[in-house]
Amino acid sequence: MDCIFCKIAAGELPCEKVYEDAHTLVFMDIAGDVDGHMLAIPKRHFENIFDCDGETLDRLMRTVKLIAEHCTKACGYDGVNLLNANGASAGQSVPHFHIHIIPRTAGDNINAWPSFGGATSNIDNIYQKLKL
Ligand code: 5GP
Ligand code: ZN
């Protein structure tokens, strides 16, 4: 399959590996946009959350938690942002499921939360559509 992250997981493309186990891999994001930017992926190819099975999600989130705790317990950080895009409309650019991990320290001045432009519809109307 012609997928960058599959090739990284298979060792066919290089990466700066932070952590690896049988099912998941964490490596440095090459964007160079923010210090410590990492990506956590399942080694098997899933496009995003929509086709990813529950067991893989469990494993990926356990790895994300392990790395988050590694950041705070061993690397001097206070917190982490977790970011994830599912689908082109959500801004996903690499179609292999991944979670961005951004380690944080108080006063680091990183703006890791999108500045939304303001809601355009009544909250109750949207709520009627969304509620399960
Ligand atoms: P998305 O926009 O899909 O949520 O994020 C994709 C991320 O993958 C981006 O932050 C981008 O910098 C990163 N990325 C794209 N190609 C490569 C690559 O070849 N190696 C690494 N390490 N990261 C990549
Ligand atoms: Zn893939």
Task: Give the pLDDT score at 1.
Answer: 75
In-domain check, residue 84: yes
In-domain check, residue 33: yes
Q: What is the pLDDT along the chain (132 residues), one digit of tens a residue?
A: 799 999 999 999 999 999 999 999 999 999 999 999 999 999 999 999 999 999 999 999 999 999 999 999 999 999 999 999 999 999 999 999 999 999 999 999 999 988 999 999 999 999 999 999
In-domain check, residue 115: no
- Report the share of the chain in percent with pLDDT over 90: 98
* Longest pairwise C-alpha distance within the chain: 50
In-domain check, residue 120: no
Question: pTM for the whole thing?
Answer: 0.97
Task: Give the pLDDT score at 114.
Answer: 86
In-domain check, residue 131: no
10 residue type, one letter: A
In-domain check, residue 14: yes
Q: Which ligand gives the minimal distance to the CA of 46?
A: 2
What residues contact 98, with CB distance under 8 A and at least 6 apart?
5, 39, 40, 41, 84
The CA 82 to ligand 1 mean position distance, Å, reads 15
CATH code for the domain in which residue 20 is found = 3.30.428.10
Ligand 1 atom nearest to CA at 37: 10
> What's the total number of domains in the chain?
1
For residue 37, what are the domain limits?
4-109
100 is catalytic: no
In-domain check, residue 13: yes
